[in-house]
Amino acid sequence: MTLARVLDFRQDEHGDWLAVLSCGHTQHLRHQPPWQNRAWVLDATQRNAQRGKPFRCGWCETEHDANEASTERSQDDLNKER
């Protein structure tokens, strides 16, 4: 599996930070203690330190899983409770 890299960071309309990844996806990096503790994302210096670092993209992992195992995809459909 190929890891994406962090290209840049930006904020959405709510002020939540997003990582812009080399795979073309974006990932929210919310700082919502005590559930999600990412105080570093609020600090420009620490954000800059993360640029170019490998990042495990949840979107790419989901696509990968869906392609690999069709049984998992059908389970997802069941969970939607249409």
Q: What is the dihedral of CA 9, 41, 61, 20, to 10 degrees?
A: 0
Minimum separation from the CB atom of position 54 to Zn ion (A): 12
Minimum separation from the CB atom of position 64 to Zn ion (A): 10
Nearer to Zn ion by Cβ, of 42 and 64: the residue is: 64
Could you give the C-alpha distances from 11 to 24, 33, 37, 62, 63, in angstroms and in order?
Answer: 16, 18, 17, 23, 25
Do 72 and 63 form a contact (C-beta atoms < 8 A)? no
What does the binding site for Zn ion look like in residue numbers (CB under 5 A)?
23, 25, 57, 59-60
Nearer to Zn ion by Cβ, of 10 and 82: the residue is: 10
Nearer to Zn ion by Cβ, of 41 and 57: the residue is: 57
